[in-house]
Every structure is written in C-alpha cells, then in structure tokens.
Amino acid sequence: MQEQISALKEQIAAQISAAGDLNALEEVRVSALGKKGSVSQLMKGLGGMTPEERKEMGPVLNGLKNQVANDIAVRKETLEEAALEARLTEERVDVTLPVMEHPQGSVHPISQVMDEIAEIFANLGFDVAEGPDIESDFHNFTALNIPEEHPARQDHDTFYLKPDENGDRKVLRTHTSPVQIRTMLSKEPPIRIIAPGRTYRSDSDATHTPMFHQVEGLVIDRDTHLGHLKGTLEAFLKAFFEVDAVTLRLRPSYFPFTEPSMEVDVQCSFDGGTVKIGDGNDWLEILGSGMVNVNVLKACNLDPNEYQGFAFGCGIDRLAMLKYGMSDLRAFFDADLRWLRHYGFRALDLPTLAGGLSR
Amino acid sequence: MKFSLSWLKDYLETDASLDEIVAKLNAIGLEVDTVENPAEALAPFTVAEVLSAEKHPDADKLRVCKVSNGTEEMQIVCGAPNARAGIKVVLGRPGDYVPGLDVTLKKAKIRGVESIGMMCSARELELGDDHDGIIELPEDAPVGMSYVDYAKLDDPVIDIEITPNRQDCLGVYGIARDLAAAGLGTLKPLNVVKIEGSFESDVKVSIDLPEEAKNACTQFLGRRFKGVKNGPSPQWLQDRLKAIGLRPISRLVDVTNYITHDLGRPLHVYDASKLNGDLKARLAQAGEKFIALDDQEYTAKGGETVIADASGPQGFGGIIGGLASGCSEETTDVVLEAALFDPKRTAFTGRDHGLITDARYRFERGVDELFIRDGMEIATKMILDLCGGEVSHVFEAGADTDWGRTVPFRSERILTLGGVDLPAGESLAILDKLGFKVEGDDPYTVHVPSWRCDVEGEPDIVEEVLRIHGYDNIPSAQLPVTDHKAGTTLSARQKRARAAKRRLAGVGMHEAVTWSFMACAHAELFGGGDERLLVDNPISSELDCMRPSILPNLMLAGQRNRDRGADVISLFEVGPVYEDDSEKGQLLVAAGIRTGQNSERHWAVASRSVDVFDAKRDALAALEAVGAPSGLQVFDEAPDYYHPGRSGTLRLGPKNILASFGELHPKVLKALDVDGPVVGFEVYLDRIPAPKKAGAAKGALTVSNLQSVERDFAFLMDRDAKVADLVRAVRGSDKAFIADVSIFDVYEGKGVPEGQKSIAVSILLEPKGETFTEKDIEGIGAKVCAAAEKAVGAVLRS
C-alpha cells in the first residue's frame, strides 16, 4: 500500500510537471483529485479499513491529497504567470506614436494684458469702466477742454463718421479719455476707475495702426494730488513689469485735459536689443498723465473747489510689446495663427496677484 | 522747434555743457527730440585749392584736376561745370564718408584716369539743395583748414517739441528765458532800439471788422521803407536759417523768418510798389481769390481774416501772404506788417485751406500781445542794417492790448495739488524768475506775463512752480485704502467677455483682434453699410465702414492663414459690432469661425471637413461660459449670410436671439474670395439676461441609490421633422422618471424609406422611492412612443 501510494505520488508529480498549460493541469487535477480521481479513489478506500488501518493510512492519504493539491496550485501559478506574460507580450503597442493632443487655443496678448491691468488696479480699489467707440465730439474733445480750434485736435488724426442732418459728425474716439467724462457725469466721487478699450487714429506704420488700445485711469476725490499719481503709477508699473522697483522720470508736458500735466518715462536698458524695465541707463516714454483740468471737472458738473484728482492714459499694445517682446504692432491685428500661437496665452493663464501675472 | 547752440547763446549766458542743457530742457517740459551736430559727419573734409583743370582725354564733360590741400597734391576727375583752376573747394579723400551720397570714397579710375578723392557739392555734404556744381569757397579760405572750422559748422542743432501751450518757446529767446529761470544761466536782455522814422507813410492801414468778429485782428502796425536793396542775406543769417532747415530767400523775407524763429513774432513784408492803395484788415467775402506765396490759388469761404488792398486780398492774415504783393530781389519799396490775429479764426482758416505755416503755428497758439511794438522795432532795425534805405514813422490801426491778467494763488496748493511741501518763498522766487509778478499776501495775486497766455488759473501756477522746482522732486504717495469689494472691479459685461474668451481658447480656438471697420461692400453682405456708420475720412477704402459683424474679418483672416498653408483654422474674437452710431448700437459679440479640417490629420482619428455642428458646439460653449440659461430653443432660421439649410439661431423665447451659427453662404464666400466651407457663430453677449442674484451656495443635491435604467428606441420620422421636437416630446412624456434623453444614431439610406430618417434615442430613467418593475418600464416606453408620434409623427422602427 505504501509503495502504491509512493508510486502514485511520483506519477502525479510527474504529470503536474509535464502539464504545459492550464487545461492540461486541470486534467491532471481531475484525474487525481476529481470524484473519480486516483487520489479520491484511495480516499474512498479509507471507509473500508479497520480503525487501526485507518489511523495509519488516514494521515498518509491526506498528506498525499494535500501534497497534490499544493503542487497543482504552485504549478497553476507558474502557468498563469506565463500565460499573462504571453498576453502582455502580445498586447504591446508602440508608445512612441504621437497622441492626439487636447485642443489648445490661445488668448490674444491684448486681452491678457487687459486682464493683468484689471487685476493690478482691482487691488488698488479701482473699477473697470467702459464707453462706446463711436463718440460725440463733446465727450471726445469739448468736455476734455479741447475746443474746436485747439491745436491738439490736429495732433489726433481723428476719424469722423458722415455728418448727420445737423452737420454734426460723430468721431471714432481718439483716446479712452471720453470714458473719464462719462464716468464723472454718471457717478459721484470718490471715483477710481480704469477704462481699457479700442481707440482710433488715422495713422499707419510699424508703430501706428488705425486702431489701437489704451487704458485710461481716473481718480477723483477731495485730497488726491500729484504724489498719489506718482505712487499709483509706480505701483502699477512695478506690478505690471513684475520687477522689484521701477524708477520713473516725470517730465512737464501738456494735455488739454490735465493741469499740471506730465509725461512719464520709466528707467530701462536696451542692452542686447531687448528692453528691460527696472534698471539701466535709458528712459522709455510710457504714458501721459496729470491732474484733471479744472475745465474738465466743470464740464462734468463737479465743483473744482471741492474735488480734484488725477488721470493717466497708456497704450496697451505698447505695454504688451514692452513686456512680451513683440516688435511689430501691425502683427497684433493680422490674426496669423503662427503669431497667435507664439505670443498668445493659454486659456488657464488667468493672471492673478496670488499666482503671478505671467507664467 | 529747431535752434542751434550758438543761437541760444545769443540770449543765454551760460557755462552749461550741451548735455546739461538737453537734460534741463527735458526737465522743464521742452522735450528734446534730436541733437545733431553737422560737424560730426563732416569732420574729415578740408579746404583745398584746384591748381589745374584739364579736359579728360576720353570724356567731354569731365575734367582732370590737380588739387592741393597744402601738404599734398592729388588728381581728381570731376564732372562739375564749375571745376576750374584757381578756385577753393571742399575736399574729401579716400576713406571719407560723404553723407549726401551715402558712400565712402575710395581711389577709382574714371574712364581710365586715376581719381583720388572728391570735391563736394552742398547737397553731397547735406548743407543745402545746391547740386549745380561743387562748393566754391571765397578766395581767402585757407588751404588745408578743416572745412568744419572754416565754415563754423561746429554748432549742434537742437530740435525740441513744443507742446501747444508753450507759444512763448516758439522763439529762441523764449527758450533762453525758460532755461535761465530754471537756473541754467543768465538771460541777456533784448536790445530794442526805437527808430523814429523820417517820413509819413503813403500807405495807411485800417481795421474794418464787424462787431462779432472784432477779435479777428485787434492791432496792425505798419512801416514803409524806401530805397532798400534786397538780395541774398549775409552768410551768418543764411547759415542760421539753413541750420534749422529753412531756405534763405532774400534779405527782406529772411528777416521776417528769422524774427519769427528768434522771437516768436511773425511778420510780413509787402512790395509797396505792387500794393494798390491802403491796407485793410477785414473778413473775406465768400469767393474772393488770391494766389499765395506758395503759388497756390485760394478761394475764401467767407469769414477768413484777410489783409486787402484796393484790388483785393493780399493774404490770409497771420497765415500766408499773397504772391502779387510779395517781395522780390528787385523790391526797393516795402511795407512791414506786425499785427495781432485771433488764434481761433487763424486756426479755422488754416485748417479749412490746408495751410500750415510758421505764422499760423504761432498765431493759433497765441503770440505775446505786448511784444508787437518791440518786434516791429527789431525788424525795422534789421531791415535797415541789411538793406539800407529809409523808414517811415509807424502807421497803425487798432489799439495796444490791455493785458493785465492776474491769477490768485494759495501757496499751500503746491502741496495739496502738487504733492510737494515747498516753502511759499521758494514758490514766489520761481515765479519771479519766470517773469510772473506776485503781489499781496497769501492768497497772492499773480500777474501773468503777456508771453504766457496759456496761464489762466491756479493749477497753471502750480505747474510753473513744480516744473522749475523739478517734477522729479515730487514724492510718491499711496492712495488711501478703500473698502472696495472683491469682484466689483469688472462689470457683468466685462466678466462675460473674459469668460467667453477663456472658454473659446479652452476649446481650441485662437483669439484674434481685428479692425472695427471693414470694406463697405463686405459690411453690406452682413446687413451693415448704413450711411451713419460710414467713416468720412477712412484710411483706405478697405476700412470705410463700421463692422456689422466680426465674421467677415475672421473669414478673411482665415483665408490668409489658409494661403500660408494652415489646414485647421479656428479663430474667434470678442469685440464690438455696430448696429447704429448710438451708444446702445454698439453690441459686444463673441464670434468665431472654423474652416478647413476639424483636426490635423492623425493616425488615430479620421479627419473631416468642419461642419455646422462644430459651430453650434462652439456657440453653446460660449453661451454656457457666460452664464446663458440652459435649454435655449434652436430655430432653423438664421441671418441670410449663412447657408439657408445649414444654419440656425439659439433663442431665449421666440424673439431674443442669443446666438446664430451655421455654414457661411457660398455667395458670401465668393464675394469675400474665401474658400469654403467656413462655419461660424456669433453670440450676443449683451442679450443674455443678468443672472438672478443668489448666494454663492448651490442648491442641495438629491441623488437616488436605486439603480437607474437605460432604454433605447429607434424611430422613423420625416426627414424634415426636427429632432429637437422629438427630444422635447420624449423628455416631456414622463417628467417624473425621464432624467435624460440622448440621440445616439441618425441614419438615412438603405433600409429607411425614402424621405424618412431613423433616429436612435436613448432615455435614462431614474426611479423614485422603489426600483422599476418591467411593467413600469413598459408603461413609460408606451408614453414615449405616443409622445413621439404625436409631436413629429415618429413611429418605432420595426
């Protein structure tokens, strides 16, 4: 009996080793451990044995059964491992193939810069105001202390629409300053606004386009003075150009709608053919500004003895060029996809003070 | 405004260097545009002498000259007709750069004869227009001397921009006065010699103006000269005029030009022998004509100020004189005019007739009204000095201006307006240096000098003080912190624009910014071209009409990209369109186009041409981003620039069109010369209702734990029936349980009867309270089928 069992044990062990795949192994399992399997048959024989025999053979047969079951399990794991290996090998792909990229559009630098400016001025307590592109002579000129005969009108290269029945001609606003007028006429001081938008002048070359963008700033309160203007512009330019400090040079100038008036230059360097704001030995003219002219306050029904404030105006396209390095203004308006992809911004590049204005 | 350093120093006693002067000019608001020293470019050129000039053996018009510069002789082949032995010339040698020709000289052979160097003309050295021959210097010019030294060209020319308020600096004297006030030297007094005159003028003047135009000319001083000798001006005068870009004409004319630029006082000279009777300052009658000194004929519109004699206008007062009474080389009898003209009328006349002259430039900015007599005397002396002859007593009309302008000034305003804490004494000292006389105690009365007609109020005084004190000395201050609320910076409209841009960029479109105007013919295709939206003075006929739609600009831009080889093109713009010229007529629109393929060719995905559904999808993305209500109705009617069968509108209610989309009409493509198909959309951001104000919190979410069920249906329906109607009917057939309806197949063709389409619909059922039984689901299915049949005649496909 013992020999018989040993022989069977060896036989089954050999069969397990020989099983080349899971099916063959299953056959071995059935032939050994199945209902009519060789091991099962021996186990059944236990019932006809004497208690002594059973006492002796029971553990032996159980040992056989367990040994076989264990051997099969071990072999099964090996075979499964191999089968999986084979499947994985079969399933391989060339992962160097290029994928279909998620669509990636772009936001125009002008929009981006407008968002940056709004973000900076929001922090200084400003609102963003708007006005129409097609303006009345009153808002664009007269209320801004530019009467019809004023020499400044000639400097504006104004686009006019066709005259109406009364001979009045609307203009395409030559600057964003009419939004000052609209704001002062519609809102009680204190006022803090910026007004970005489209502006138009009849001019065209590498640095001038018939349409361009400006941002206007206006603060009206009781005690606002030139020092506040300087401080505000410093804060703005420092934040916009993302530098630790800016040095401004203020030069007396003239705008009909401000008095005193000043041009503002920012210190920069032109080393290596690119503009770097913040240090250097050169100056870059960057905006015009001043204290709101008394005549402008009066035109907006504000009492100059009670209220005063400052205004400034700045080219947005120019700011974009200085910060992001474009050289030709005309390309801003050409919608060349190569340019838009190169200079544009990703949808999620929303400028924030917390996360930074530019990437 | 140009002037040379030596000219400035006629009036400014200073040790300051050129750099210091330039820096100070900038600091006081006289912005320096350029500083050019002609000496720099001409440094190598020397005075030389032509020793001999022989005809070139092989060319009739060339001469072979022997030229000496004192140390060596060289042979130069020269084509100038005046090249001859004995003359003194300006010599350039090999290696020297000739600015007027933009060449560097080198040894050359000209028709076989060696030539070393060049004798230069005025134009070649950029010293004038003369190119008839080489420069001939006076006989006593020392050979070998640097030409720059000989001709005293080492005199930098400074060009400054004068802002419209600073008429006082449109003369060199005024600039010197400002620099002196700013501490850069001492102003030398003007030397005004009063000349009595020796006879009564036979020409008289009168001012004849209606009451409403009596400012047109308020004063006219005249002087009659006899026996003057006109001719070329002396060299110093010619040099000064040339240095600032003026062409010397003759002594008489040059005197008026010189004083205009020297003292900011425009003058005019008439040839008295050509005048017909007395002079009169009056308004022009419409239709009166004269030929001006620029040889152009001008026809008055009526109302211009003219100076006329018995035969008619002899010029527009304060702008330009007439040719008929102009001075020539032969003129011996002269009338000199110094007058005061109204800035406004001068500006209008100049603008109406397109005349820009040095006189107009000054009068329209307002000349020093009290300087008229001194100006007259200075001019008189200069004419007598240069031309000889006799002068009459002054004859005149009008009266001296009663200037006397005063402005009140509180010294604290330097701090409260200007932000600079400056002691009153310093402010007053600055004003004094600028010629303002201060009277009384704080608040002071400031007497404004007559040359500062721009100073009208206290802020102007603050500016004057700060300007001289130095704008750089203004300390920065921070605006006080306000209780500005987060999120209130942008208006709802601006937030929408921002959201639309970010969303459309997110779906892969590229934001463009295009002109607000376009060609009228293109505007008309898109419902525009209204007379009231035409630009009267367009920069080109391509940009003569305010745009009624952004689409044409984007289509043209798309085509430009196609022409550059792009085949997947998607552009959008968020900007204005114009329905009329009113404020409300300007609408904010988000528009986009796609053209070419919907994606780049790729191994994983089949590429296809863009279609109307791409545009609809873009429109819906933009609408969703800007907070438009969901469930907009889709209408198949759209503006006629779209393909009539492949376009639609998205509406809130039947009237309020929030967006349109579609394939652009083939006729429009053809008119714009654009390749199709192009699909596009327009979202009207202003028409979207403001969101109802609610808190930031969202409503509570209720979800069922019970298993939801999906059921599919295949309906046959008329080809022209609308799927939207089917979906609405299906959704409405059991509002309690149908949570979603989707379309997962659309089929026409084999197996589907002619004129019909097969629509596969999937419905999602969400149980409430307990799971569905088979019977529940059958019941809902029956309701779906009934509703589908009722709404669009759809029947289940068997």
Pairing of strands B444-447, B437-439: antiparallel
Q: Does A156 lie in the same domain as A84?
A: no
Cα–Cα distance, B40 to B194 (Å, whole number)? 41
- For B709-796, CATH number? 3.30.70.380
Q: How many CB atoms lie within 10 A of CB A100?
A: 11
Average pLDDT over residues A74-86: 92
Peptide bond into B189 cis (omega under 30): no
Q: Which class for B57: exposed (0-12), middle (13-18), buried (19 or more C-beta within 10 A)?
A: exposed
Cα–Cα distance, B305 to B44 (Å, whole number)? 52
Residues of chain B with pLDDT below 50 are none
CA-atom Rg of chain A in angstroms: 43
Establish if A64 belongs to a structural domain.
Answer: yes
**What residue spans define the domains of chain B?**
2-37+156-187, 40-150, 205-398, 406-467, 492-687, 709-796
Do A196 and B491 contact (CB within 8 A), yes or no? no
Q: Tell me, what's the pLDDT at B39?
A: 84
B40-150: CATH topology: OB fold (Dihydrolipoamide Acetyltransferase, E2P) (2.40.50)
Query: For A304, phi and psi rounded to 5 degrees?
Result: -65, -15
* Of B561, B471, B622, B441, the residue nearest B31 (C-alpha): B471
| CB contacts < 8 A (A, B) | 265
Q: Tell me, what's the pLDDT at A155?
A: 66
Q: What is the DSSP string of B511-571?
A: E----SEE-HHHHHHTT---GGGBBSS-SSGGG-EE-S-SHHHHHHHHHHHHHTT--EEEE
Q: Can you give the length of chain A in residues? A: 359
| Dihedral, B771, B773, B779, B784 alpha carbons, nearest 10 | 50
Residues of A in contact with B365 (CB under 8 A): 151
B-facing residues of A in 303-322 (CB < 8 A) are 308
3-class DSSP assignment, residue A330: helix
* Of B227, B183, B249, B256, the residue nearest B25 (C-alpha): B183
* Beta carbons of B505 and A170 less than 8 Å apart: no
* Of B92, B111, B108, B107, the residue nearest B42 (C-alpha): B92
Q: What is the DSSP string of B261-310?
A: HHHS---EEEEGGG--S-EEEEEPPTT-EEEBTTS-EEE--S--EEEEET
Establish if A355 belongs to a structural domain.
Answer: no
Establish if A226 belongs to a structural domain.
Answer: yes
**pTM (2 d.p.):** 0.86
Do B183 and B21 contact (CB within 8 A), yes or no? no
Instruction: List all residues 6 or more positions away from B75 whose beta carbon is below 8 Å from its beta carbon.
Output: B64, B65, B66, B67, B113, B114, B115, B116
Q: Tell me, what's the pLDDT at B761?
A: 96
Q: How many CB atoms lie within 10 A of CB A331?
A: 18
* Beta carbons of B536 and A162 less than 8 Å apart: yes
Do B175 and B30 contact (CB within 8 A), yes or no? yes
Q: How far is A84 from chain B (nearest CA, A)?
A: 27
Q: Tell me, what's the pLDDT at A80?
A: 93
Whether A345 shows a pLDDT value over 80: the answer reads yes
Which class in CATH covers the domain with range B406-467?
A: alpha beta
- The structure tokens listed for A287 are 């905006």
Q: How far is B505 from chain A (nearest CA, A)?
A: 4
Q: Which class for A104: exposed (0-12), middle (13-18), buried (19 or more C-beta within 10 A)?
A: middle
* Beta carbons of B538 and A159 less than 8 Å apart: yes
Q: Which domain holds residue A267?
A: 109-340
Q: Does A197 lie in the same domain as A82?
A: no
Average pLDDT, chain A: 91
Cα–Cα distance, A160 to A137 (Å, whole number)? 10
Do A212 and A319 contact (CB within 8 A), yes or no? no
Cα atoms in the Cβ-side hemisphere of radius 13 Å centred on B28: 25
Establish if A103 belongs to a structural domain.
Answer: no
* Beta carbons of B546 and A134 less than 8 Å apart: yes
A-facing residues of B in 133-172 (CB < 8 A) are 163-166
Establish if A178 belongs to a structural domain.
Answer: yes
Band of the pLDDT at A127, cuts 50, 70, 90? very high
Predicted complex ipTM: 0.89
Which class in CATH covers the domain with range B205-398?
A: alpha beta
- For B2-37+156-187, CATH number? 3.30.56.10
Nearest C-alpha in A relative to B24: A251
Q: Does A330 lie in the same domain as A192?
A: yes
Q: How many CB atoms lie within 10 A of CB A169?
A: 16
Q: Does A139 lie in the same domain as A258?
A: yes
Q: Does A209 lie in the same domain as A73?
A: no
Establish if A297 belongs to a structural domain.
Answer: yes
Cα–Cα distance, B283 to B213 (Å, whole number)? 8
Whether A33 shows a pLDDT value over 80: the answer reads yes
Q: How far is A161 from chain B (nearest CA, A)?
A: 4
Whether A72 shows a pLDDT value over 70: the answer reads yes
Q: Does A213 lie in the same domain as A180?
A: yes
B699-733 CB burial, b ≥16 within 10 A, e <16: eeeeeeeeeebebebbbbbeeebebeebbbbbbeb
Q: Tell me, what's the pLDDT at B126?
A: 83
CA-atom Rg of chain B in angstroms: 41
Q: How many CB atoms lie within 10 A of CB A317?
A: 22
* Beta carbons of A198 and B575 less than 8 Å apart: yes
B127-147 CB burial, b ≥16 within 10 A, e <16: beeeeebbbbbeeebebebbb
B492-687: CATH topology: BirA Bifunctional Protein; domain 2 (3.30.930)
Measured distance between the N- and C-terminal CA atoms of chain A, rounded to whole angstroms: 84
Q: How many CB atoms lie within 10 A of CB A197?
A: 22
* Beta carbons of B576 and A337 less than 8 Å apart: no
A-facing residues of B in 17-76 (CB < 8 A) are 26-29, 31
A-facing residues of B in 403-462 (CB < 8 A) are 415-420, 457, 459-460, 462
Average pLDDT over residues A15-36: 90
Q: Tell me, what's the pLDDT at A41?
A: 85
Residue B104: C-alpha distances to residues B43, B48, B154, B161, B267 (Å): 14, 19, 22, 33, 44
Cα–Cα distance, B168 to B172 (Å, whole number)? 9
Q: Does A246 lie in the same domain as A143?
A: yes
Place of tokens 């400090």: A245
Q: How far is A54 from chain B (nearest CA, A)?
A: 56
Q: Does A291 lie in the same domain as A161?
A: yes
The answer to whether B364 faces chain A, any CB pair under 8 Å, is yes
* Beta carbons of A254 and B29 less than 8 Å apart: yes
Nearest C-alpha in B relative to A310: B417
Q: Does A178 lie in the same domain as A82?
A: no
Interface probe, candidates B349, B476, B531, chain A, greatest A C-beta count within 10 A? B476
Q: Does A15 lie in the same domain as A152?
A: no
Cα–Cα distance, A189 to B484 (Å, whole number)? 14
Q: What is the CATH number of the domain that holds A130?
A: 3.30.930.10
Band of the pLDDT at A250, cuts 50, 70, 90? very high
* Beta carbons of B510 and A344 less than 8 Å apart: yes
Query: For B568, phi and psi rounded to 5 degrees?
Result: -120, 110
Q: Does A78 lie in the same domain as A10?
A: yes
Instruction: List all residues 6 or more positions away from B662 whose beta carbon is below 8 Å from its beta carbon.
Output: B612, B615, B638, B642, B643, B646, B647, B648, B679, B680, B681
Query: How far from chain centre, in Å, is Cα B183?
Result: 35
The domain tally of chain A equals 2
**What share of chain A in percent tops pLDDT 90?**
65
Nearest C-alpha in A relative to B514: A333
Q: How far is B602 from chain A (nearest CA, A)?
A: 7
Fold match flag (B2-37+156-187 vs B709-796): no
B-facing residues of A in 224-253 (CB < 8 A) are 224-232, 234-235, 249-253
**CB-CB: which of B489, B543, B554 is closest to A210?**
B543
3-class DSSP assignment, residue B189: coil
Q: How far is A45 from chain B (nearest CA, A)?
A: 53
The answer to whether B484 faces chain A, any CB pair under 8 Å, is yes
Q: Tell me, what's the pLDDT at A336?
A: 97
Q: Does A298 lie in the same domain as A199?
A: yes
Q: How many CB atoms lie within 10 A of CB B527?
A: 14
A-facing residues of B in 491-510 (CB < 8 A) are 491, 493-494, 498, 501-510
**Crossing angle of the two packed helices A316-324 and A109-123, in degrees rounded to 10:** 100
Do B62 and B110 contact (CB within 8 A), yes or no? yes
Residues of B in contact with A333 (CB under 8 A): 513-515
